[in-house]
Amino acid sequence: MTEQTDHWETSQKILVILAHPDDPEFFCGGTLAKWARAGHQITYVLLTCGDKGFNIATHPDMTPEKLCGLRHIEQNNAAKIIGASSVHFLDLPDGYLVPDLTLRRDVVRLIREHKPDILVTCDPQNLFALYGINHPDHRACGQVVLDAVFPAADNIAYFPELLEEGYQPHMPKEVWCALTNQPNTTIDISDTWDVKIKAVLEHTTQVQDMDKLIERFKSRRTEDSTDENPRYEEKFRVVNYG
């Protein structure tokens, strides 16, 4: 597996579509920070605001409505650290994402609206993650994004009502799937690992023990790392259409 960004000779428009606030930072924050520092334009779209991501035992006064507002703030702060240019929310109900035709049309609209060169989402086939069962929203998000890319995004016969809205067909050159168990691309994020961690820690409603979280991330360094020279990587399944 190798890095596949050497062929990007000009600034790329990168659209990140993921399920929840904090997904961009946890899944691929080091890579996104690296791209931002190389001059690429990064836009986030979060399908939900993560309004159910709290434990009533530890947050007895929390409500989904209150949490939604807090997570908007956290995500915007984290995105600034990463270097993303803008953040958008669909604010669909957390935990209830379904890759149906309505959501597929919405994602096709997003692709045609933003016209990304590079599209980032997550692997819908990943049932298990390091922390246990992968969240169903992650899988639903990845599924609906891939279904939107092909065959619908650049085909006028799909969702013709979008043409009436002014959204012309568009196909990204590359689709990068994070949180995958079948990677074909590895990005060395050693130089932006600290940026990733700083951005992750902005999600204060989701981080119960910052020190423990940092240690957990440190434990994921590459096997060839040393204490003096730790190396970190993020892995993706990349599909090329360009």
Segment 70-109, tens digit of pLDDT = 999 999 999 999 999 999 999 999 999 999 999 999 999 9
**Superfamily of 13-240 according to CATH:** LmbE-like (3.40.50.10320)
Residue 152 is given by DSSP the state: I
- The Cα–Cα gap between 47 and 89 comes to 6
Mention every residue, 6+ apart, whose C-beta is less than 8 A from residue 45.
15, 16, 17, 18, 87, 88, 89, 90, 110
Does the structure show a pLDDT above 70 at 112? yes
Per-residue model confidence as pLDDT tens digits over 136-193: 999 999 999 999 999 999 999 999 999 999 999 999 999 999 999 999 999 999 999 9
- What global pTM score does this model have? 0.95
Q: Does the pLDDT at position 1 exceed 60?
A: no
pLDDT of the residue at 232: 97
Rg (CA), the chain: 18
